[in-house]
C-alpha cells in the first residue's frame, strides 16, 4: 500500500496549486477537451507519445532536442538534473486569461543516465467563476452524515443525495515505477498514486465538505483519504 507520507505529499501539492473548478453546470468545451486528453495520457509514456495526445498529427513540430533528450518546444516550468536523472515539467493553460478554465500539469523523469523522458505525473485542475472558486458536486451530504477515512465510493454515495458522487474537483496520477531506482523502491516511491477530490454541498448553505479520495490499486476502488469542512464563500484558489 502507498505510504501515508507519499499521499500526504501529493495532497499538499494539490492544496498548494490552483485548484480545478467549475460550476454545477454542464462541462464546458475546455473542460471536456482537457479531461479527454488527461484520460488519454498514461504514466510511462515517452515525450513523443505525450505530444501525439496533445497536438495530434502535427506533434513532431512541437518537439525539439536538448541535452540529448527529446522535449517539448513549449517553455518548461522546471528543468533539473540530479544523481544522473533529468526532470522536466510543463503547465498547460490559457495564458491570456487571469484565471484559465483548466490547468494541466505534466512532469517527466528519466532513468539514471538515460536520455528518454517518461511521464511520471499528471494533474488536471479546472476553475470557475464562483465564490468558492472550484467545481462543486451537485450532491449534498444528508443530515447527520458522518464521514470516515477509508470509506469507499459506494459508502460515500450512501450518505449523499442523488446517485453517484457528481463532478470531481481535481484528479491526479503519479507513478515513478518506470524510472525508480532500487533505493526509491525501498522508500515506497515506486508505488503509484491516484487521487480525486470533491466539494460536496452540506445542509448548512454556508459550508461545503472537501473530500479527497485515494485509489486502492489492490481493491480497484477509491477510498476517502482526508476530508474537511470549508467555507462556501471563501475561494479555494
Residue 59 lies in a domain: yes
pLDDT tens for each residue of 65-85? 999 999 999 999 999 999 899
Domain count along the chain: 1
Residue 83 lies in a domain: yes
What percentage of the chain reaches a pLDDT higher than 70?
89
Rg of the chain in Å (alpha carbons): 19
pLDDT tens for each residue of 121-133? 999 988 877 888 8
Residue 107 lies in a domain: yes
Residue 66 lies in a domain: yes
Report yes or no: 99 and 127 within 8 Å, Cβ to Cβ.
yes
Residue 236 lies in a domain: no
pTM of the full predicted structure?
A: 0.84
Query: Is the pLDDT confidence value at 48 over 70?
Result: yes
Residue 91 lies in a domain: yes
Query: Is the pLDDT confidence value at 17 over 50?
Result: no
Q: Which domain holds residue 54?
A: 4-231
> Which residue, among 164, 173, 167, has the nearest Cα to 124 in the 3D structure?
173
Report yes or no: 129 and 136 within 8 Å, Cβ to Cβ.
no
Residue 237 lies in a domain: no
Residue 208 lies in a domain: yes
pLDDT tens for each residue of 200-228? 999 999 999 999 999 999 999 999 999 99
Which residue reads 518506470 in cell numbers?
178
How far is 215 from 232, CA to CA, in rounded Å? Answer: 27
Amino acid at each position: 500500500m502507498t505510504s501515508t507520507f507519499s499521499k500526504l505529499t501529493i495532497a499538499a501539492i494539490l492544496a498548494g496549486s490552483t485548484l480545478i473548478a467549475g460550476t454545477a453546470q454542464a462541462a464546458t468545451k475546455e473542460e471536456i477537451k482537457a479531461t479527454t486528453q488527461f484520460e488519454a495520457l498514461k504514466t510511462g509514456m515517452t515525450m513523443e507519445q505525450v505530444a501525439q495526445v496533445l497536438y495530434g498529427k502535427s506533434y513532431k513540430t512541437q518537439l525539439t532536442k536538448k541535452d540529448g533528450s527529446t522535449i517539448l518546444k513549449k517553455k518548461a516550468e522546471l528543468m533539473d538534473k540530479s544523481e544522473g536523472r533529468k526532470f522536466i515539467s510543463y503547465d498547460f493553460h490559457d495564458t491570456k486569461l487571469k484565471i484559465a478554465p483548466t490547468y494541466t500539469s505534466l512532469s517527466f523523469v528519466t532513468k539514471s543516465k538515460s536520455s528518454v523522458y517518461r511521464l511520471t505525473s499528471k494533474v488536471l485542475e479546472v476553475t470557475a467563476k464562483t465564490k468558492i472558486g472550484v467545481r462543486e458536486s451537485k450532491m449534498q451530504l444528508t443530515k447527520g452524515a458522518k464521514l470516515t477515512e477509508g470509506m469507499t465510493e459506494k459508502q460515500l454515495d450512501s450518505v449523499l443525495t442523488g446517485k453517484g458522487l457528481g463532478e470531481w474537483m481535481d484528479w491526479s496520477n503519479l507513478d515513478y515505477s518506470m524510472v525508480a531506482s532500487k533505493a526509491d523502491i525501498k522508500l515506497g516511491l515506486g508505488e503509484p498514486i491516484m487521487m480525486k477530490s470533491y466539494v460536496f454541498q452540506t445542509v448548512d448553505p454556508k459550508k461545503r465538505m472537501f473530500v479527497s479520495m485515494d485509489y486502492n490499486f489492490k481493491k480497484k476502488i477509491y477510498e476517502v483519504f482526508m476530508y474537511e469542512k470549508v467555507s462556501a464563500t471563501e475561494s479555494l484558489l
